[in-house]
Amino acid sequence: MADYKSGVADYKAIVTGGARGIGHAITSALLEAGGKVCFFDVSASEGEKAQKSFDEKYGSGKAVFLKCDVSKKNELHDAFHQAKSQMRGLNVVCNNAGVMVHTDESSHSDELISINLGGVINGSMLALELMGRGYGGNGGVIINTASLLGLSVIHPQAAIYSSTKAGIIHFTRCIAQTSPRDHGVRVNCICPHAVYTNMTTSLLNDTWEGRLKPAQEIADYMPKNDDEAREMYLKTTDISNEVMKLINDESKNGQVLAITKNPDDRTQVKVENVELK
């Protein structure tokens, strides 16, 4: 894992969706750098499993699991305040929790919107409140997890999911215009392409085993087996590495980072700040 310790200024972080996938990797990177992390997840079993692994690797008390459904505003509010109280401060918030459904999106629209977009918006507002200098905080940084699907039409069967991610991108860029001046808080977002996680492999397994039939133009670009998926898809640590760079670099604000595999060399990760008007 990359060494971020030279740039650390006492991380006290919240990571939503921190028990699994990208969130787990971000939590691990922050802990590796010597920080304290309160990580949220809707699944008690996954959260407790992650808590045990973090305790074994980094020592008890460095990571704290809080069960939280980010789609429920009151739960999110209470979890944020509890996290700041337990860590005696807060300077990093990674709004990462999100879902993608494998079936007809229309029957899950409320869930997709309330978790993916609502969770990020409400989490960001709480972060500004608790980290903002005007509210007694010391400033900090917010990293929102969007997706490459929020930047362009890649997967027409995921129109609602893609729209929530596009909303995250625009929301991030809007609040980044004033948050450093008004609150001392930088705001950036990441837009990864497909990442090899349990969520994406579940989708692939459903496709390979015939339970899910994507449109042909989508199927043509999907990996045909697990080995191909591992080659084509990003690793969770590819994402956490870029998140840590955004956290550490005080010049970065309003960034929209597209993170993909280099098409000419899949062993390399390509990162580009997307300039939007």
Could you identify the residue written with the tokens 């969130």?
Answer: 23
Residue of 78, 90, 88, 3 whose CA lies nearest to 40: 78
Q: How far apart are CA 111 and CA 180, in angstroms?
A: 31
Task: Say whether 4 is catalytic.
Answer: no
> Which residue among 58, 161, 196, 233 is the active-site one?
161
**What tokens does 116 get?**
């993916």
Please give the radius of gyration of the chain, using alpha carbons only, rounded to the nearest integer. Answer: 18
Q: How far apart are CA 201 and CA 222, in angstroms?
A: 11
The beta strands (E) that lie in the chain are given as 12-16, 36-41, 63-67, 92-95, 140-145, 185-192, 256-262, 265-273
Q: How far apart are CA 191 and CA 255, in angstroms?
A: 10
Q: Where are the alpha helices (DSSP H) in 177-254?
A: 179-183, 198-208, 216-219, 226-232, 236-248
Three-state secondary structure call for residue 185: strand
> Taking the chain, what is the end-to-end CA distance rounded to the nearest angstrom?
35
Three-state secondary structure call for residue 67: strand
The residues annotated as belonging to the active site are 161
